Copies of this chain bind each other. A is one copy, B any other.
Amino acid sequence: MNRVFLDACVGKPTPYTPVWLMRQAGRYLPEYRATRALAGSFMGLATNPDYATEVTMQPLDRYPLDAAILFSDILTVPDAMGLGLTFAEGEGPRFAQVVRDEAAVDKLAVPDMNKLRYVFDAVASIRKALALRGDKAVPLIGFSGSPWTLACYMVEGKGSDDYRLVKSLMYSRPDLMHRILAINADSVAAYLNAQIDAGAQAVMVFDSWGGVLADGAFQTFSLAYTKRVLAQLKRTGIDGSVVPRLVFTKGGGLWLDEMKDLDCDVLGLDWTMSLGKARAIVGANKSLQGNIDPNILFAKPDQIATEVVRVLDSFGKPHMDATTRGTGHVFNLGHGISQFTPPEHVTALVEAVHSQSKAMRL
């Protein structure tokens, strides 16, 4: 198996900088659109392990990526709580039930993990598909939304541009918000552990909306519950290997001096944060993941390569000493890839990361 991603996560030297892309299995790929058309809907894809396996593998067939990520959605957990997740065409996720008052909170509980069996079945199925690649198999990353990010959708009922409803609840009824977040944290932990038991080789918590919180509120309502998830996670997978834990808070660069103490292996960063500054803050006990702006993929291949070098240079000299844990770097976008991305530009990005990062190690 290609262990470059796993080694970078835990701060071991690697021959080059590994790369994968958030939302790498997605709408920018014509083969994904074809499979989705067959499945009929996004949830039709996600709930069918065969389709989920097929679309997870598609970007690996095109690009020499160093990790696979389970094809699923961050909102499967509240769906299993009974809130009724749907995706209207071109509109993003929507819940049939919302959680905005005490009566709705009273009904919440950690869901029966059997309702998420389709996810664990997909994990097992993807591992089988990956194993067929032998030496070229890459590790499979499982994931979940963070407790706070799930709460945003559970209260708002859909995406939001001001988070008015979830923040109103948080500021006016912090007791209810803490109850939601505690249930979410325990649910996310059980969900990620079940993914690990099904074969996930790394797990990532997407705190996509942590960055919308005020300083102070972030620590209380997002970071504390990410900690609660991490404290419950299994440390080894089905083959006895260490399962790296990754945490990505979009807009979290400001709070790195607090996030550096999280009990995880990798912190993901968006493009606003200098990787060099981040590395100086987190030190050698964490690796970093990120952080190129996905919009660079709309420029020409030589411009993409220039920006890749800029990100690699910002991170700085790779960790080369096998006797110590160093700060590893997993190259990624700072957010999910745009559906409008030309697929051949991803080829240029991955090629530039591999070749330029190899050159930096000479």
Contacts and interface: CB of A to CB of B under 8 A. Distances in A.
Interface of A: 161-164, 167-168, 171-172, 211, 213-218, 251, 253-254, 271-274, 291-293, 295-296, 298-300, 303, 307, 310, 314, 334, 338, 340
B314 A215 contact: yes
A296 B163 CA distance: 11
Contact of A164 (B163, B274, B340): B340
Contacts of A213: 271-272, 293
Given A215-B273, A218-B272, A300-B172, A167 B253 contact: no
Contact of A298 (B167, B215, B218, B292): B167
B171 A295 contact: yes
Top 10 A-B pairs, shortest CB-CB distance:
A167-B295, A214-B271, A168-B298, A171-B299, A172-B299, A214-B293, A215-B274, A253-B254, A171-B296, A254-B272
Copies of this protein, total? 2
A208 to B, nearest CB: 13
A98 to B, nearest CB: 16
Given A168-B295, A253-B254, A296-B171, A215 B162 contact: no
24 contacts: A162-B338, A164-B295, A164-B298, A167-B295, A167-B298, A168-B299, A171-B293, A171-B296, A171-B303, A172-B298, A172-B300, A172-B303, A214-B272, A214-B291, A214-B292, A214-B293, A214-B334, A216-B274, A216-B314, A218-B272, A251-B251, A251-B272, A253-B254, A254-B272
A214 B269 CA distance: 11
Contacts of A272: 211, 213-215, 218, 251, 254
Between A161, A211, A298, the greatest number of chain B beta carbons within 10 A of the residue's beta carbon is seen for A298
A167 B293 contact: yes
Contacts of A216: 274, 310, 314
A291 B217 CA distance: 13
